[in-house]
Amino acid sequence: MLSQLSIRNVAIVQQLDLEFESGFTVLTGETGAGKSILIEALSLALGARCDAATVRTGAERAEVTAVFQIAPQSPAMHWLLQQELGEEEDCVLRRVVDRGGKSRAFINATPVTVTQLKALGEMLLDIHGQHAHQSLLKPSTQRDLLDAFGSSISLAREVKGAFERWQELQTQWERWQSDRAHVQEELLRCSEQLEILQALNLDVQEWQALQSDHLRLSHAASLQEGTRWSLALLAESESSALTLLDQVLQRLSQLSSFDAALHPVLELLQQGEIQLKEGLHALRRYVLQAEEDEGALAQLEQRLQEIHTVARRTRMRPEELPAFQEQLQQRWQQLQEQESGESLAQAAALAQATFLAQAQQLAQVRQQAAQALSGAVTQQLADLALGQARFQVALQTLPQPTGQGLETVEFQVATHPAQEPQSLARVASGGELSRLSLAIQTVLSAVSQTPTLIFDEVDTGIGGGVAEIVGRLLQRLGGTHQVLCVTHLPQVAACGHHHFQVKKTEQNQGVGSEVQRLTREERVEEIARMLGGVTLTPTMRQHAAEILTDACGQS
């Protein structure tokens, strides 16, 4: 709901800060005091159009900030999370307009487009009046309200999901038909490449081993010469390292009997001798292996030649061939599935049948709900001095099904018996439109998801008992929604849970407007003023107090 509204330099309003509560709030005041400006300023914060005339004369810019309390599971909160614009229950909408008429919009201090501001605003508040944009006039809103009234929201979602599934499969089937020749060509090409790669049978481990072995075998002569030279120098010549070390050990062993300090040195050299002998053993094995590998180089180079030939044909590097083969295998499997379109055709046909069954069920539910809603709203219109008006929910079959079902939904009204029902958008009278909106919202109050409703000019052309009925309906609607109403009728004003008075003031900068929350006593004075007369008499005040007590149960 709307909790705070701050206005700076909009039209005749220089500075205004208001706090609102739940329930039914009325705004009253003399003509020209600025009641409509409050609605216009709020509309500005919700994404309405603006121009340079919005800015108060002499000011550099106009600014409106509206704070809404948003329920955690509401559509508005879901939208905020999708847009990554915050998740706090207090949501701040702000609009700034400069003297040139250019505007900037913000949601929770984040710059947004006016389109985003408007999208969120439509989920938070609905303004019903002659010049106000109403979501109630939108076909999508009318459809959603009918589904909510008929308890078919879940079924409507299922229909939409079934339609999207059908369209997805139908698109795949049509794409298969147009791409069939291409798929067959690609499948043949893929099969030929796979046959070559499978025959090559190369994996990453083999390629790494081949690289290592080729490096070793291509330097076999140098390796043999170097290892044999090392073997001779270490063990096979008369002055080899092993012979010299053995002589050193014998001499130090004799000398250690004269000085124990040589024992650690002797132990280290003895360990060295052991390691030298182990190294010589490994070196001899390496030399023998090298002699056995003398014929392997030609075989290895033949294998490498095979790999490089395949790599050139596939325009791949040799090391990329194993991964390429895996990719080809996956693509081949996909193409195999696509090559046969029978399963796709069957799936598309089944999805279509599922959608049509659910959509026909939804159409039946909507037809029943449309009759019930038409009768309930028509009855409500009679109580609002629109006794000759007829409301109906018109369902018209679409030439082609959509995700919303098999039919369109349109709210229509005929204000005279001889008149054919027309869409709500064609209703000319602002007062009639507001009362129509009130009647519809009253009937749909239990299912409408818009938390805040504003009614402007709802009392145009009525009075007496009808005005009291309007007030009672708004009061009742305030039990399920936050309702704000600009009114000139004391019967309507008396039904408010909260009452604001708008006054025109004379200021240094020119004409201004201020708003005051009224106490019980002040409400009596304001209602007495609304009852008429230049001078307020005790009788008028007593009458006002009686109206207030009767409407709100106050004493």
- The pLDDT tens digits for 223-248 are 677 777 887 788 877 778 888 888 88
| Model confidence, pTM | 0.61
The CA distance from 1 to 123, in Å, is 11
329 and 186 assigned to the same domain: yes
Percent of the chain with pLDDT over 70: 92
User: Tens digits of per-residue pLDDT, 138-165?
Assistant: 899 899 989 989 999 999 999 999 999 9
User: Tens digits of per-residue pLDDT, 434-471?
Assistant: 778 788 888 887 777 789 998 886 777 777 788 888 88
Instruction: Confirm if 5 and 66 have CB atoms less than 8 A apart.
Output: yes
- pLDDT at site 442: 82
**pLDDT band at residue 555 using 50, 70 and 90 as cut-offs:** very low
Q: What is the CA radius of gyration of the chain?
A: 44
Q: Inform me whether the pLDDT recorded for 292 exceeds 50.
A: yes
194 and 117 assigned to the same domain: no
The mean pLDDT of the chain is 85
- pLDDT at site 25: 95
Is 405 inside any structural domain? no
Instruction: Confirm if 346 and 390 have CB atoms less than 8 A apart.
Output: no
The residue range of the domain holding 38 is 2-130+432-439+448-517
Q: Which of 282, 306, 339 is the last residue of a domain?
A: 339
User: Tens digits of per-residue pLDDT, 3-13?
Assistant: 999 999 998 88
57 and 191 assigned to the same domain: no
CA distances from 172 to 163, 181, 285, 293, 348 (A): 14, 15, 65, 58, 9
Percent of the chain with pLDDT over 90: 35
Q: Inform me whether the pLDDT recorded for 170 exceeds 50.
A: yes
Is 181 inside any structural domain? yes
DSSP type of residue 387: T
13 and 125 assigned to the same domain: yes
In terms of Cα–Cα distance, which of 280, 240, 246 is closest to 266? Answer: 246
Q: Inform me whether the pLDDT recorded for 325 exceeds 50.
A: yes
Is 331 inside any structural domain? yes
119 and 183 assigned to the same domain: no
303 and 184 assigned to the same domain: yes
Q: Which of 84-93, 273-282, 352-361, 463-472 has the lowest mean pLDDT?
A: 463-472
Total domains, the chain: 2
User: 457: domain CATH number?
Assistant: 3.40.50.300
